[in-house]
Amino acid sequence: MVKRIVDLRSDTVTKPTETMRAAMEGAEVGDDVLEHDPTAFHLESEMAKIMGKEAGLFVPSGTMANLISVLVHCESRGSEVILGHNSHIHIYENGGISTLGGVHPRTVKNNDDGTMDIDLIEAAIRDPKEEIVFPTTRLICLENTHCNHGGRCLSVEYTDRVGQITKKHGLKLHIDGARIFNASVALGVPVDRLVQAADSVSVCLSKGLGAPVGSVIVGSNSFIAKARRLRKTLGGGMRQIGILCAAALVALQENLPKLESDHKKARLLADGLNKIQGLRVCTSSVETNIIYVEIEESSGTTAIKLCKDLEEYGILLKQTGLSRLRVVLHHQISESDVQFALSCFQKAVNGVQNENGN
């Protein structure tokens, strides 16, 4: 019997649709290093337009997009970047900005909502007068939506305020916008308005938008020109990439409108999970497509055990702590999958409780 699998580990697991596959098969291509692959050019122009920036650059991953952005803004040796202590760049990108780029990170505490206090950001900016002992702050990074803080959205007002701080101090602002479209949809703010204050944004196409591969960096013409060169240096200069860009263009068209429904399913699942005795979800924190599930002691189970039990039912999730699980919704998870997942959670938790004689 074919087991039903509901893969809630991440929105990166989305597989290309029939339309994407057809687009990939028929894509017009060229050598993107020698010149410009025409489909890549089309995607990059389109993304730049959507994000309200001058130019765009297709890259193999969000990690490379952030790495390039930080390294281009901080191209002088002795640079420092301010970013959240719990941001993706700081936690999940192998420390590449330092180990490869020689940039020093200065972390500021992320609040539960993904923001950093403005006064703490400002306090972290190095005083140029002390430069004999300090690195030079050049960049502030925000993350929207904020992955480790439950996919929460940074408002346009907050983003603008951080932008003002950067301008006041002659710094740049980069937004890790892997899930920026989720933020835009959830906030009801056009995406170009949302990132208006930013000098650069990295946007993932392979997450909720569902393309098989890639991200796009957007910024000024001169920024993107430098980014293109650094992309080559890092080894991201691919040849006939129109194939992947064709899928990304389809993703933009087809799946952007589906993000709202991903958020609805997330809220449905969150409410349902919160009702299960032994589990707790801060439902008010579920703003987009990410849910963190706390496993209460009374449940008698742990994150590892629950993950394993659920896997046997065909539900795949990520364990993010001893008693914490992460669930991510995407367009290839149906409402019926959500209901199925809920029933499996209930069974798994009940099963444990029965084991423990509860």
Partner 1 sequence: MLVIVCFYFLPLCNTVIAIEIGHFFFIKIFSKFLDCFSVAEKMVTRTVDLRSDTVTKPTEAMRAAMATAEVDDDVLGYDPTAFRLETEMAKRMGKEAALFVPSGTMGNLISVLTHCDIRGSEVILGDNCHIFIYENGGISTIGGVHPRTVKNNSDGTMDLDLIEAAIRDPSGEIVYPTTRLICLENTHANSGGKCLSAEYTDQVGELAKKHDLKLHIDGARIFNSSVALGVPVDRLVRAADSVSVCLSKGIGAPVGSVIVGSKSFIAKARRLRKTLGGGMRQVGVIAAAALVALQENVGKLESDHKKARLLADGLNEMKGLRVDPVETNIVYVEIEEGLHISAGKIVKNLEERGILVMDASPSRFNSSFNNIQSTDSIFVNCCSMLLREGKVKMATSGRKI
- Map residue 71 onto helix, strand or coil: helix
Q: Which is nearer to partner 1, 185 or 247 (CB)?
A: 247
Q: Which is nearer to partner 1, 245 or 338 (CB)?
A: 245
Q: Which is nearer to partner 1, 31 or 117 (CB)?
A: 31
CB of 121 to partner 1, least distance (A): 26
Residues in the chain: 358
Rounded distance between C-alpha atoms, residue 70 and residue 66, angstroms? 6
Cα 318 from chain centre? 16
CB of 68 to partner 1, least distance (A): 7
Angle between helices 62-73 and 221-234 (to 10 degrees): 120
Q: Which is nearer to partner 1, 95 or 170 (CB)?
A: 95
Phi, psi of 146 (to 5 degrees): -95, 110
Q: Which residues contact 22 (CB under 8 A, 6 or more apart)?
A: none
Contacts with partner 1, residue ranges (CB under 8 A): 9-10, 12-16, 21-22, 24-26, 29-31, 33-35, 59-65, 67-68, 93-96, 99-101, 206, 212-214, 229, 232-241, 243-244, 247
Q: Which is nearer to partner 1, 151 or 163 (CB)?
A: 151
- Map residue 135 onto helix, strand or coil: coil
CB of 129 to partner 1, least distance (A): 30
CB of 244 to partner 1, least distance (A): 7
Which DSSP category does 284 fall into? Answer: G
Reading the block at residue 154, the tokens are 């940074």
Which DSSP category does 110 fall into? Answer: B
